[in-house]
Every structure is written in C-alpha cells, then in structure tokens.
Chain A
C-alpha cells in the first residue's frame, strides 16, 4: 500500500515527462558525438599500433628461426621472405618487416672456409 502511494506521489504527468526526457536524450547524443570520434581514434590507433607491433615481431621471429635453421643445415636456402647470406664467420638473415628491416646474425662455432 505504501509502495503504491509512493509511486502515485512521485509519478509525473505525461506532459511533464516529455521535455525532461528529450533534454536528457539530447545531452546524451551530444556527449556521444563528442566521445565517439575520440574513442574510435583511440581504438583504431591502438589496434593499428598493436597490429604493426605484432607483425614486426612475428617477422623478426621468423628471421631468427630461418637463420638458426640455416646455421644447423647449410642446405637451407633463402626464402621469399628471408634472405640469407653465409660467410666464413656466420650467417646473416635479413627481411623486410613492415617499415623496418630486421637483421639477425648468428656466428658459427668456428671460422669455416667456404
């Protein structure tokens, strides 16, 4: 009974609700318009940064693995992604990773006459 009475007291008339609601909705829309570009920029910027970072590291890891494999097996040839260069002291693997160039040099245990 008390609850019903309370509802009746606080219940506004329909003509009183509409302007308030419109004002709140409008403000929320303006806030959304202001925040959305910032949020989108942050999200896409962060995503792009993460993707770039990921691709670069994936590529660097690939260069290391390919060069290390070539160190164990001299028959390993350069791949389209990683170019290998052998000399008497070691092997150098190089690849273009996004905008950077990744170079890994692994030494032989002993100098070798090629």
Chain B
C-alpha cells in the first residue's frame, strides 16, 4: 500500500500523484461515460422522432390519396349521370363541357394514383424518407383501378381492386432503424361508405408481424 501510494519511485515528494491521477482518471471516465449515454439517449430520441415524422407523413399522404380518390369517384359518377341525362333529354350542347369535366376528373384521379406509385418507388430506392433511411416495409398501393377502355359516356370511376373489402382493408406503414421502429396504420374507423372515414393511427411496429403469425 505504501508503495502504491508513493508510486514506487525513489522520489517520495510525489506521494499523492498516483492517487490524484487515479481520482482524475475515475472522474474523467465517469464524465465521458455519462456524456456517451446522454449522447446516445439524445440520438435515440432524435431517430425515433425522425422515423415517426417520416412514417406519419406518409400515412397521412396515403389517407389523403384514398379520400381524394373516393371523392373524385363520386364526382365522376355525378358527371357521368349528368352526361347520360343530357343524352337522354337530347341536350347535346351540354355534353361537351361535361365531357371535358369528366376527363379532367379522371386525369386528376390518375395523377393521384401515379404520384403514389412514384412515392412507392422512392420509398424503396431511398429506403425511407429523404432525411432518414432504414429498413422499410413495402408501401401499400392505393387499391383503385380504372377499367380501360372507357365506355360510351367516358372514363369510368376507379373501382376498388383489393381482394378484401374496404371494411377489412388495413394499410401498414413501417420503417425501422437500428433498435428503433415506427409504424402507422390506415383503416376504416367506422363501417360505412362516407368519404372521410379513413383513419390514420400510430400502431405497434410489430403488429403486422403478430397478425401474420396469428394467420399462420
């Protein structure tokens, strides 16, 4: 112990040096360790917030695309009815503007579906959003499809193309990075066919996996 405290050298004046160095080292290690953990916590929170922002904005975007597609669908149905009524009542001068309207509605709907397809591709190529990359769950497509070619009245409304019905449709969005993950779910909150009934919610990142496990 004596040797330990006196640094085992012949110079006995530096008796406290080793002890002080040990205290300093212990203090430095505690300080650096603390700052490492603080930095790690900060990074974890930052990653989680980035993941949430990315997944959340995408789920809202998808929900908006679904809602808009449905809204435009009902407009298309209304315009087609008007065209058919004009044809039936022989008001042919009213038909061309209605046709222009019908075509522009169909075009707007195609633009929505197309922009979502671009988003799907970007999502996979970027592996997430532009500012955070990770392991992405493939994005669901907007389950609407238009019958081609158009009939005599003009473009038809897009129809639901998923195998399961709207009521049971569930769309998952997920992205994980390291130990953190974020997930959102878009589903019909209330059964019915109103236009703003799609609801986006946060969900547990492994909910989809659990559902698959239950199905098996």
A interface residues with partner B (beta carbon < 8 Å) = 24, 28, 32, 39, 43, 46-47, 50, 53-54, 57-58, 60-61, 64, 68, 71-73, 108-110, 112
B interface residues with partner A (beta carbon < 8 Å) = 13, 16, 20, 23, 27, 30-31, 34, 37-38, 41, 44-45, 48, 56, 59-60, 184, 199-205
Give Cα distance in the complex from A80 to B205, angstroms: 26
Q: List 10 A-B contacts (CB under 8 A).
A: A47-B27, A47-B30, A50-B30, A50-B31, A54-B37, A54-B38, A57-B38, A57-B41, A110-B199, A110-B201
Asked if B184 contacts A53 (CB within 8 A), the reply is no
Contacts of B59 in A (CB 8 A): 109
Closest 5 CB pairs of A and B: A61-B41, A109-B200, A72-B204, A54-B34, A57-B38
Query: Which one, B27, B200, B205, contacts A110 given CB within 8 A?
Result: B200
Give Cα distance in the complex from A39 to B13, angstroms: 18
Contacts of A108 in B (CB 8 A): 201-202
10 extra interchain contacts, Cβ-Cβ under 8 A, other than A58-B41, A60-B41, A71-B202?
Answer: A46-B31, A54-B38, A57-B37, A57-B38, A61-B41, A61-B45, A109-B200, A110-B199, A110-B200, A110-B201
- Least distance between A88 CB and chain B CB atoms (Å): 13
Asked if B30 contacts A109 (CB within 8 A), the reply is no
Contacts of A47 in B (CB 8 A): 27, 30
Query: Which one, A50, A64, A109, A112, contacts B60 given CB within 8 A?
Result: A109
Asked if A24 contacts B27 (CB within 8 A), the reply is no
Give Cα distance in the complex from A53 to B56, angstroms: 32
Query: Which one, B34, B202, B205, contacts A50 given CB within 8 A?
Result: B34
Contacts of B48 in A (CB 8 A): 64, 68
In the complex, the chain B residue whose C-beta lies closest to that of A68 is B48
Query: Which one, B31, B56, B204, B205, contacts A109 given CB within 8 A?
Result: B56
Query: Which one, B13, B31, B37, contacts A24 given CB within 8 A?
Result: B13
Asked if B45 contacts A109 (CB within 8 A), the reply is no
Contacts of A73 in B (CB 8 A): 204
Given contacts A108-B202, A109-B201, contact A43 B27 (CB under 8 A): yes
Asked if B23 contacts A43 (CB within 8 A), the reply is yes
Contacts of B203 in A (CB 8 A): 72
In the complex, the chain A residue whose C-beta lies closest to that of B24 is A43
In the complex, the chain A residue whose C-beta lies closest to that of B186 is A109
Give Cα distance in the complex from A47 to B34, angstroms: 11
Give Cα distance in the complex from A50 to B27, angstroms: 10
- Least distance between A100 CB and chain B CB atoms (Å): 15
- Least distance between B72 CB and chain A CB atoms (Å): 21
- Least distance between B153 CB and chain A CB atoms (Å): 36
Give Cα distance in the complex from A43 to B205, angstroms: 45
In the complex, the chain A residue whose C-beta lies closest to that of B45 is A64
Give Cα distance in the complex from A32 to B13, angstroms: 11
- Least distance between B21 CB and chain A CB atoms (Å): 12
Contacts of A64 in B (CB 8 A): 45, 48
Give Cα distance in the complex from A46 to B28, angstroms: 10
- Least distance between A73 CB and chain B CB atoms (Å): 7
